[in-house]
Structure 1
Amino acid sequence: MYAPIPPDPAAPSVRVNLYSDTQTRPTRAMRAAMLDAEVGDEQLSLDPTVNALCARVAVLLGKEAAMFLPSGAMCNSVAILTHCRPGDEIIAHETAHIIEAEGGAPWALAGARVLGLSGPRGMFTVDDLRSVLRSPSRYSAPQTLLAIEQTSNLGGGAVWALDTLHSLAAVARDHGMATHMDGARLMNAVVASGIKASDFTAGFDTVWIDFTKGLGAPLGAVLAGSADMIGRAWRWKQRLGGSLRQAGICAAGCLYALDHHVDRLAEDHANAKRLAEGLSRIPGLTVETPETNLVYADVAASGRDPAGWADALRAQGIMVSVMGRTRLRLCTHLDITRADIDETIMAFAAIRAIWL
């Protein structure tokens, strides 16, 4: 589903980078905060800035404890390895990040398979979940973990409804399953809905947030859960090489993001809506209405494949993602301005006119 565009030395430099919200760069003020960070040995819990970040995120997500990790994918792997044993089954949406974009990590690392449920916009219902639950049997894999992605990336950045999350978590709990939330863009959901992060995560045993997307930090994610859960997760963090040294330099960027870059996510959402409205007026493009900062455009009716569109845009200094056989993804973020949005719309229109 993900198709990175290889660098083309002949192409102009990227002026408008809509490839992903991971393309954000730390601001000068964030860099200053990182430069001034107090540091220590994170592995020994002696880094005061990492400790402050973990304590703050634990409160934000309504959990007892948290740990700092280099990436969100590692958060998913550490959580799955802590929850599951080889031969277990995880239930998630069929387009979930753990299925589509982590190199088969649940199977390769935990020996756990993932059962993907279908449903519009990267979501499924309580009835969908109930339909695949099995009575415990020695003949079938133990159903150990329910995994939810908030927001749903391949679902167009859609926000799971609070009551749906609560109901799904309750059904999973009644079935003896643990619950995990991939909260890569959880703060986008918070800003879009006005619902507190801790309300979204209340029914989940583990949850993480990513600081390298719309929050604009150069690296870092924080996994939260009960004190016992995080204590057990530390063994997997150690095994995977995720224990760090003077990581406060990076954690300071994350703390800065929490102070300065959360509310401004609303600007990204407004830019995404403007982009979607502009692209929807171009013949041959079918554009999904964005709820947050991800804009998906289906180009099947244009007579060109998404790679062709991406190449043509790249020639004009605009970078987007190819997502499957017919879709493009455009992500708004900290480094994208309203002028960038207007330039992108005009570039799409100009390319379409040339091809007619």
Structure 2
Amino acid sequence: MNENKMIVDLRSDTVTRPTPGMLEAMFSAKVGDDVFEEDETVNALQEKTAAIFGMEDALFCPSGTMTNQIAIKRFTNPMEEVICDETAHVYRYEGGGIAYNSMASVRLLYGDRGRLSAELIEPHINPDNVHYPKSSLVILENTVNRGGGSFYTLDQIEPIYHLCRLKNIYLHLDGARIFNALAESLDDPKEYGRMFDGISVCLSKGLGAPVGSVLLGSRETIYHARRIRKALGGGWRQAGYLAAAGIYALDHHIDRLKTDHKNAKTLAETLISLPFVSSIMPADTNIVIFELDKKHNPDEFVEKLKHHGVKCNTFGKQMIRFVTHLDISDDQIGYTLDVLKKMH
């Protein structure tokens, strides 16, 4: 048992709970039936998110998995191929949805902490040959979850954009933590809207909303996306209560993401000095991934931390992941560091 009664939940930034201000916004939301496109708060969220990225239209969905899967369905046909990194969320953590929903194959590449480049992608674009699936879609992830929160800058994305245009291939962004990336790169989000055919923006991670993601694209893309969402069971009714949380998050929780990044760096700086840590990924944003030495069993290590009130997850062989978020205070970071220093 945790005798100090302090609980520090570093398992994911999805564990956040609505702030008092967010709850107030949710309770006062004006709602309608979103399937009829009559929920004015949902419409406002979609318009707001599209405007941030300079895109024509948007669609509010229950999850980032759904927005990604809708985009893949929209941008591919059966017997075509998706190109992504082998660590990509769309490949590893969406239940085989690419095959199940879109009947597309996947070409896996091995990037730099999950980040691809035009030079890496180009040799893997299939020629027009009956033996090969047509290369139809490239997917980037920003930030990269399994890359320890690594992120792309626009300078890195632009050559990929030009390659996709040259080869007549769609380009989609799994932007589950896009605002974490923007907080560090300081890039203009409207430039993302210029380069990507689709962007998935998650509201329930670093931004702290209880649920929901928004798919951005052209009016034609979102028209088709709405039909796909309906077929997937994602047509919801008075969703404005949830959309209000998303609007509040966009208005109040973007600027504070740098605090999460600072806390992640603080954790990383201590971890690298501890004897049981053999390596650690750079803490670029709000994710800290470190490797335990071979003397430590990662499952037992997680249980020991849990005993002291610090929750986290294993993340592969000998790997542990911490994720900072808006429900983690300076005191909790200090407490976690004290616990880690006493581990052996």
Query: TM-score band, normalised by the shorter chain?
Result: over 0.9
Cα deviation, 1:174-224, whole Å, max 9, x if unaligned, reads 111111000000000111111122223421100011110010000011101
Cα deviation, 1:78-120, whole Å, max 9, x if unaligned, reads 1111111111100001100011111111011111122110022
- Selected match of 2:97 from 79, 90, 105: 105
- Verify: 1:62 aligned to 2:62, yes or no: no
- Does the Cα contact within 8 Å between 2:294 and 2:318 map onto a contact in 1? no
Matches within 5 A, 1:127-138: 127-138=119-130
Q: Which moved more, 1:335-344 or 1:268-277?
A: 335-344
Q: How far apart, in 1, do the equivalents of 2:190 and 2:271 lie?
A: 35
- Selected match of 1:254 from 246, 258, 266: 246
Partner residue, 1:288: 281
Equivalences, count: 342
Matches within 5 A, 1:62-101: 62-101=54-93
- Does the Cα contact within 8 Å between 1:84 and 1:110 map onto a contact in 2? yes
Q: How far apart, in 2, do the equivalents of 1:98 and 1:147 lie?
A: 8
- Verify: 1:273 aligned to 2:265, yes or no: yes
Over the aligned positions, Cα root-mean-square deviation in angstroms equals 1.4
- Does the Cα contact within 8 Å between 1:275 and 1:342 map onto a contact in 2? no
Once the two structures are TM-superposed, the CA of residue 257 in structure 1 deviates from its matched residue by 0.4
Partner residue, 1:178: 170
Amino acid of the structure 1 residue aligned with 2:282:
T
- Verify: 1:145 aligned to 2:137, yes or no: yes
Q: How far apart, in 1, do the equivalents of 2:281 and 2:132 lie?
A: 39
SS in 2 for 1:155: coil
- Does the Cα contact within 8 Å between 1:186 and 1:197 map onto a contact in 2? no
SS in 2 for 1:21: coil
- Verify: 1:337 aligned to 2:325, yes or no: no
Q: How far apart, in 1, do the equivalents of 2:331 and 2:55 lie?
A: 40
- Verify: 1:321 aligned to 2:317, yes or no: no
- Verify: 1:298 aligned to 2:298, yes or no: no
With normalisation by structure 2, the TM-score equals 0.97
Q: How far apart, in 1, do the equivalents of 2:48 and 2:286 lie?
A: 25
Cα deviation, 1:105-163, whole Å, max 9, x if unaligned, reads 10111111221100221112211101211211111001110000011110111111211
SS in 2 for 1:329: strand
Amino acid of the structure 1 residue aligned with 2:85:
H
Q: Which moved more, 1:11-20 or 1:341-350?
A: 11-20
- Does the Cα contact within 8 Å between 2:276 and 2:296 map onto a contact in 1? no
Q: How far apart, in 2, do the equivalents of 1:278 and 1:185 lie?
A: 24
Q: Which moved more, 1:192-201 or 1:126-135?
A: 192-201
Once the two structures are TM-superposed, the CA of residue 11 in structure 1 deviates from its matched residue by 7.7
Q: How far apart, in 2, do the equivalents of 1:130 and 1:78 lie?
A: 25
With normalisation by structure 1, the TM-score equals 0.93
SS in 2 for 1:66: strand
Amino acid of the structure 1 residue aligned with 2:113:
R
What are structure 2's unaligned runs of at least 5 residues? none
Which of structure 1's runs of 4+ aligned residues deviate more than 6 A? 10-14
Q: How far apart, in 2, do the equivalents of 1:275 and 1:268 lie?
A: 11
Identity of aligned residues (%): 37
Q: How far apart, in 1, do the equivalents of 2:251 and 2:139 lie?
A: 29
Q: How far apart, in 2, do the equivalents of 1:309 and 1:96 lie?
A: 26
- Selected match of 1:346 from 320, 338, 341: 338
SS in 2 for 1:212: coil
- Does the Cα contact within 8 Å between 1:14 and 1:314 map onto a contact in 2? no
SS in 1 for 2:140: strand
Q: How far apart, in 2, do the equivalents of 1:74 and 1:11 lie?
A: 37
